[in-house]
């Protein structure tokens, strides 16, 4: 049995808005949106991995705040955990550096305006529920068995 590998995703928040990152690679994910983040390295705590990944992917200094309840399966052996995070006061603004070609700050009512990666939808749903103010459910959520 292969040991589970945790992938951390950042629900990076600013003024009630959520940051979404548009994938540029690999080709099968290109153009879709995700919560930025990446794999937790051996010996690394998830919160440390989140801060490192945000620095590498977006060039920002951020602080992990709290884990969003839940864990979502990705392709084996990976599992997604999401943490809320905020930019540090002296951080540069986010810019796409690795595997992304666009960023968008989404107000609660805009959360479902982007084409999220399928595996991120359940996590985004949890984050959206915490943002409130019109974040609601993705279109067609009632018919979605996931």
Confidence band for 144, pLDDT divided at 50, 70 and 90: very low
Contact between 118 and 103 under an 8 Å Cβ cutoff? The reply is no
More confident residue, 131 or 134: 131
E strands, 29-129, where? 33-34, 37-39, 62-67, 72-73, 78-87, 100-106
CA dist list (Å): 109 to 14, 29, 69, 70, 127: 15, 24, 22, 23, 13
Q: pTM for this structure?
A: 0.88
Instruction: Work out the average pLDDT over 41-49.
Output: 96
User: What domains sit in the chain, N to C, each tagged with a CATH number?
Assistant: 5-139 (3.90.79.10)
Using CB atoms within 10 Å of the CB of residue 40, give its burial: 0 to 12 exposed, 13 to 18 middle, 19+ buried.
buried
């Amino acid at each position: 049995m292969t040991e589970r590998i945790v992938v951390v995703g950042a629900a990076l928040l600013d003024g009630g808005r959520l940051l979404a990152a548009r994938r540029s690679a690999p080709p099968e994910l290109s153009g879709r949106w995700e919560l930025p983040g990446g794999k937790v390295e051996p010996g690394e705590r998830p919160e440390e991995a989140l801060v490192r990944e945000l620095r590498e992917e977006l060039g920002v200094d951020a602080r992990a705040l709290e884990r969003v309840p839940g864990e979502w399966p990705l392709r084996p052996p990976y599992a997604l955990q999401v943490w809320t995070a905020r930019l540090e006061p002296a951080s540069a603004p986010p810019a796409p550096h690795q595997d992304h070609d666009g960023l968008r700050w989404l107000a609660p009512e805009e959360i479902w305006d982007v084409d999220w990666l399928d595996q991120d939808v359940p996590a985004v749903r949890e984050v959206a529920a915490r943002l409130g103010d019109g974040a609601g459910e993705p279109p067609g959520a009632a018919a979605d068995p996931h």
